[in-house]
Chains A and B, each alone.
Chain A
Amino acid sequence: MRKISQIIDGKRKIIKKPELLAPAGNLEKLKVAIMYGANAVFVGGKEFSLRSQASNFTLEDIREGVEFAKKYGAHIHVTCNIILHQDNLEGLKDYLKQLDDIGVTAIIVADPYIMKIAKDMHLNLEVHVSTQLSTLNSQAIAFYQKMGMDRVVLGREVTYEDLKAMIDKVDVDIEYFIHGAMCIHYSGRCMLSNYLSRRDANRGGCSQSCRWYYDLYQDGVLVNKEEDMPFSMSSKDMSLVHHIGELIELGVDSFKIEGRMKSVHYIATIVSTYRKLIDAYCEDPDHFHQDDFYEKELQKAANRALCHGFYFDHPGVDEQLFNMRDEHPTQEFVMRIVDYNHQNHLAKIEQRNYFEIGDQIEVFSPHHDNLFFTVEKLYNEDMEEVTKANHPMEILYVEIPHRVLANDMGRKVRK
C-alpha cells in the first residue's frame, strides 16, 4: 500500500504529494512552467521526439533548462518517444549519453530498443514508458517493470476505477494525465495521419487527421449531406480539476499536463491552477472545499471545451466536438510583468497582445491571488504617454495600483 497521508499535530496531511509535470515547447515556456509551480517539465529534443511541430530543444537548450530547473528543485524529462524505423537508429547512444551528462532526470520512451539501450548504458537518468504505448493494465506495467523501467505513463483510456484497482499491484511510478488534449484513438495505434497525409504519427508528424471533417457513406450513398453535421473524430480536451483530491488519495506519483505546443499563457495558467489546487488539498485534505475558482481559471486558457475523458467510463457524445470546434480562450494574454516600482506604482511590462487605455486587466501569479485593474496610464520606454500597446514584445510602463511581481502575467478581461 502506498502511504499517502499521516496525522501531524492532530491534523491529517498528505505526505505523498504528486509531482506536477508540465509541458514546454521552448525555454521560455520551460521557465514559466517551473516558476508557476511545476515540479518537473517535459521537453522534446531535436531527435527521437514526437511533436516535431513543437519548437524542440537543442542540447544547449536542455542544458540551460536543467540548470534553471535545479535552482527551483525541479526536474527535466526529455521525450525520446518515436517508434524507431531502420534509419533512425544512428546517434541514439551518443544522444542518451549527452542527456545523462547534462543532468536530465528522465527520458520518456516508447520503443523497447531505446528502453534496453538506456538501461544497458547504466545511465543515471530514469526511463519512463511513454503514453504512446497505451499501457492500460497492471500486467503490462509488470512487463515494463521487469525491463527495468522506472515509471509508466498510463494510456488516457484508464478509468479511475481501473487506476484504483491497479495502483497497489505495481511497484513503479505511475504517471496519469490530468489535463490537455486527447487522442481519440489509441495512442501509437493510429495511422490516419500516415494514410491521409503521409506524415508518420509515430515519428512526430501527426497531422491530427482525426479532427478533420469526413463524409459518411452507407452502401456508397452519402449519409451526411451538406446541411448535416459533418462527421469528425475530435475529442474535447480533458480536465480532471474536480478529481485531483481522489487522485492524490490513490497515491498517483505524477500528474501530467499535456501540451508542448501550447502558449506561455496557457502553461502559466494551467500549471499555477493545479499547483494551487494540489497544495491546498494536501495541506488539509479533510477540510478541503473546492470552489469554482480553479475551474474558472482553467477556462481562461482553454482552447477547447473540457471534459472528463475516460475518468468515469467511455466518453459519450458530450465529450466530443463535431461542427463546433469550440476554440475559445476567454481572456487574452496581453502582458508579462518585468518589474514593479511600488513607489510610483509603475510596472515595467513586456507587451504580448494588443491592449489600450480603458481595458480591464487581470493579473495572475504563482505567488498571490488574482488582481484586477483598469489601464489608465501607459508609457513607452521613453516615458512618453501612449494610448495603446500595439507592438509585440514592446517594453512599456503601466500604472498598476496593486503590488505585482516580476513574471506575473496580465490577461485582458473580455467586456
Chain B
Amino acid sequence: MCYSKKGAIMKLIISLNSKQRLYDYVSMGIDTFILGCKYSFYAPYYYSLEDIKTICQEYPQCHFYVALNALYDEHDIEGLESYIDELARLSIYGIVFEDFGILQIVKDKQYSFDMMYAPETLNTNAMTLNVLKEQGVTSAQIARVIPLEEQLLIQQQVNMPLMLQVHGVEYIAASKRALLSNYQKASGLDFDKESQTRLTIQARNSDYAFHIYEDQKGTHIFSLTRLYMLDLLNQIHHFDYLYIETLMMSEEEAVEIASLYSDALKSFENQTYDRDVKAYMRLLYQLNTPLDRGFLFDQTVYKLEDVRKMDNEKNQSNH
C-alpha cells in the first residue's frame, strides 16, 4: 500500500461528473469523491439532495465530499444553513469549502464533517494552514499557483491531510458578474456563453488561452490545458489526496484519466512505477488533450523590482 506521511493511504479523489460512472471508478479502487450540488460555485455536475442520498446509500464504503465552494452572499446564508442540516442527515464524509462562513455554520451546529478548505488561490504556506487547523479546518487543498518544491515543503510542515490537484483544468478566476452577457449586450455579437467548453479567450499579444463560461452564479475562467502529474508520483506520493478535476472532461476522458492514475498508483505500490511510467505517459498523450505543468516548475514574482530584474535578465539573454 502507498502511505502518506501521516500514515494514511494515499488516495485518488475525483470530482464526480457522472453518477453512471461511479461503478467504474469504484471498480478501479477509487473510493473518495467530490459531489457538486446546488450551492456549488462550479462542478462538473450538480447533484440534487436526493441524488446525493442515493449515491451515499449505494456506495456506503466510499467517502463523499459535497462542494460548497462558493463565496456566499448574506441572502444565501439561511438556505445554506438548512442545506447543511440536510447534508448532516446523509452519510456524507465532508464538505469542500472556501468561505469561512461555511466553517462557522458547521462549527456552531457541531457537525462532524471533514472540513476541507479549498480556496483555490490562498493555501500557499504551511504556517497559515496550521493556524486554520486550530480554527476547525480538518483538511485542505494546496494552491496550484506555487512551485512543486513549495507544495512539498508545505506538505511536510502541515499537520492535517492535504489534497493536491494532479490532473485537470486549473481555476484561473471567477466573477460574480455576468461578463459574457454584458459583452454580448455591448458588442451585439452572438455566442454560446453557457457552454462550459465552447468559448475561449486569449489576451492579445499573449499565447495563453482560457476557457470561459457563464452561469447563474457568475463567470468562470479555467485553463485551456490540463495540469498533469502522472509522471511525478515519486515526488508527490506523500500527499494524502491526489485530486483529479473532471470539469470540462467528457465522461470517457474522466474515466480514462482516473484509470491511468489508479493504475499508476498501484504500480507505485508494487514498486514497478519507474519501469511503467513511460507507458502510462504514452497512454496519456494518446488522449490528445492539451497538457500543462502550471506553476509546478515555475514561479511568480513578489515585487516589482523582481519583475524588472526578470525582464532585464530576459533582455540580456536575448542579446
Chain A residues engaging chain B, CB cutoff 8 angstroms: 52-53, 83-89, 111-113, 115-116, 134-140, 142-144, 146-147, 155, 157-159, 161-163, 165-166, 184-186, 188-192, 194-196, 198-200, 202-205, 209-210, 212-220, 223-224, 228-233, 310, 314-317, 319-320, 322
Contacts and interface: CB of A to CB of B under 8 A. Distances in A.
13 contacts: A111-B125, A138-B77, A143-B100, A163-B74, A166-B74, A188-B122, A196-B208, A199-B301, A200-B301, A203-B300, A204-B304, A216-B199, A217-B202
B173 A191 contact: yes
Contacts of B296: none
Nearest to A82: B302
Nearest to B200: A217
Contacts of B302: 52, 85, 88, 200, 203-205
A203 B100 CA distance: 21
Contacts of A199: 300-301, 307
Nearest to A232: B183
Contacts of B72: 136-137, 140
B255 interface: no
A273 B223 CA distance: 43
B179 interface: yes
A88 B120 contact: no
A85 B173 contact: no
A317 to B, nearest CB: 4
Contacts of A87: 150
A88 B171 CA distance: 24
Nearest to B207: A196
Contacts of A215: 201-202, 204
Contacts of B71: 134, 136, 155, 157, 186, 189
A161 B104 contact: no
Contacts of A140: 72, 99-101, 104
Given A53-B304, A113-B128, A166-B74, A212 B121 contact: no
Interface of B: 71-77, 99-105, 119-122, 124-128, 131-132, 134-135, 145-146, 150, 153-154, 171-179, 181-183, 185-187, 189, 191-192, 198-204, 206, 208-210, 212, 221, 223, 295, 298-304, 307, 310
Given A165-B74, A189-B173, A139 B105 contact: yes
Nearest to B310: A198
A190 B121 CA distance: 8
Contacts of B99: 136-137, 140
Contact of A223 (B105, B191, B203): B191
B185 A86 contact: no
B127 A83 contact: no
Contacts of B120: 189, 191
Interface of chain B: mostly helix, strand, loop or mixed:
mixed
Contact of A213 (B77, B153, B203, B212): B203
B306 to A, nearest CB: 8
A113 B73 contact: no
A311 to B, nearest CB: 13
**Which of B150, B185, B304 has the largest number of chain A CB atoms within 10 A?**
B304
B224 to A, nearest CB: 10
B177 A314 contact: yes
Contacts of A186: 71, 173-176
A229 to B, nearest CB: 4
A139 B77 contact: yes
A293 B178 CA distance: 33
A199 B71 CA distance: 24
Nearest to B98: A189
A394 to B, nearest CB: 30
A204 B76 contact: no
A233 B210 CA distance: 14
B299 to A, nearest CB: 8
A15 B192 CA distance: 53
Contacts of A314: 176-178
Contacts of A137: 72-74, 76-77, 99, 101
Contacts of A155: 71
Nearest to A141: B101
A414 B181 CA distance: 37
A144 B132 CA distance: 11
Contact of A219 (B103, B104, B175, B198): B198
Given A196-B208, A217-B199, A316-B182, A158 B176 contact: no
B206 A136 contact: no
Given A136-B101, A191-B121, A198-B310, 11 more contacts: A85-B125, A86-B126, A89-B125, A116-B134, A184-B177, A190-B174, A198-B298, A200-B302, A205-B304, A216-B191, A223-B191
Given A203-B302, A214-B202, A229 B103 contact: no
B203 A209 contact: yes
Contacts of B121: 83, 188-191, 202
